[in-house]
């Protein structure tokens, strides 16, 4: 896993999560910025889109991880103040774009906003997630654009998804760029605090 090219942002609420996420999430700065700029573009309605990138397995440990490389706003998503859904047209448009521009990438999940709500998955969000993103390694990112909070919803090793328990991620800085993360409910994790240095030293 590319820990040494990334900075770990742990969601403050993570400490209370009883379950271990089944995968580790890495996200490029480009994808982070795109998703956040989109999230800020409408502060009254839920908006969202797709996360594309790659799904991999660490050759040493066998642990799975995804790299969110791009955030693709869903231009045709039906939306309202408290729900979002993806229309068939928007799904088709997304697959067209993926085929054309990112043929070697996979759909690693989706993101959407919860203006003036907390970071969680509603029962409808869960329905969408399980219908359109059924792979155990696919994730849902929820962003609250007013308070600048967010979280990744990740299935645990048994494939169970807790709609209240979310996680932070690893920001891919290439080991050289300054962090662009501004989410206020996440804390930068010094390398080694969670055994990452031990892993590096092996």
Half-sphere exposure of 175 (CA within 13 A, CB side): 5
- Secondary structure (3-state) at 118: coil
**Cβ 50 to Zn ion, closest distance in Å?**
15
Span from 25-33, 93-101, 124-132, 161-169 in contact with Zn ion (CB under 5 A): 124-132
Task: For residue 125, state whether it binds Zn ion (rule: CB under 5 A).
Answer: yes
Span from 29-37, 60-68, 70-78, 118-126 in contact with Zn ion (CB under 5 A): 118-126
Distance CA 27, CA 71 (A): 10
Closest to Zn ion by CB, 127 or 177 = 127
**Cβ 138 to Zn ion, closest distance in Å?**
16
Closest to Zn ion by CB, 95 or 127 = 127
- Secondary structure (3-state) at 13: helix
Closest to Zn ion by CB, 112 or 170 = 112
**Cβ 107 to Zn ion, closest distance in Å?**
18
Taking CB atoms within 8 Å and a gap of at least 24, the contacts of 159-165 are: 159/22, 160/19, 161/121, 161/126, 161/129, 161/130, 162/17, 162/19, 163/120, 163/121, 163/122, 163/123, 163/125, 163/126, 164/120, 164/121, 165/13, 165/16, 165/17, 165/18, 165/19
Number of residues that bind Zn ion (CB under 5 A): 2
Task: For residue 144, state whether it binds Zn ion (rule: CB under 5 A).
Answer: no
Task: For residue 14, state whether it binds Zn ion (rule: CB under 5 A).
Answer: no
Residues that bind Zn ion (CB under 5 A): 122, 125
């Amino acid at each position: 896993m590319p820990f040494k090219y990334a900075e770990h942002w742990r969601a403050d609420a993570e400490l209370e999560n009883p379950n271990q996420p089944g995968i580790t999430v890495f996200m490029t700065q480009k994808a982070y910025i795109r998703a956040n700029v989109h999230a800020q573009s409408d502060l009254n309605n839920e908006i969202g889109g797709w996360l594309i990138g790659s799904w991999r397995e660490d050759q040493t440990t066998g642990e799975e991880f995804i790299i969110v490389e791009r955030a693709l706003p869903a231009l045709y998503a039906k939306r309202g103040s408290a729900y979002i859904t993806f229309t068939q047209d928007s799904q088709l448009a997304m697959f067209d774009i993926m085929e054309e521009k990112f043929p070697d990438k996979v759909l690693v999940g989706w993101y959407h906003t919860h203006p003036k709500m907390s970071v969680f998955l509603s029962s409808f969000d869960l329905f969408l997630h399980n219908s359109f993103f059924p792979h155990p390694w696919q994730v849902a990112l929820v962003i609250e654009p007013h308070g600048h909070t967010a979280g990744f919803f990740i299935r645990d090793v048994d494939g169970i998804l807790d709609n209240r328990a979310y996680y932070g991620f690893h920001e891919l800085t290439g080991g050289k760029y300054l962090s662009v993360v501004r989410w206020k409910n996440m804390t930068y994790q010094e390398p080694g605090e969670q055994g990452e240095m031990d892993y590096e030293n092996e």
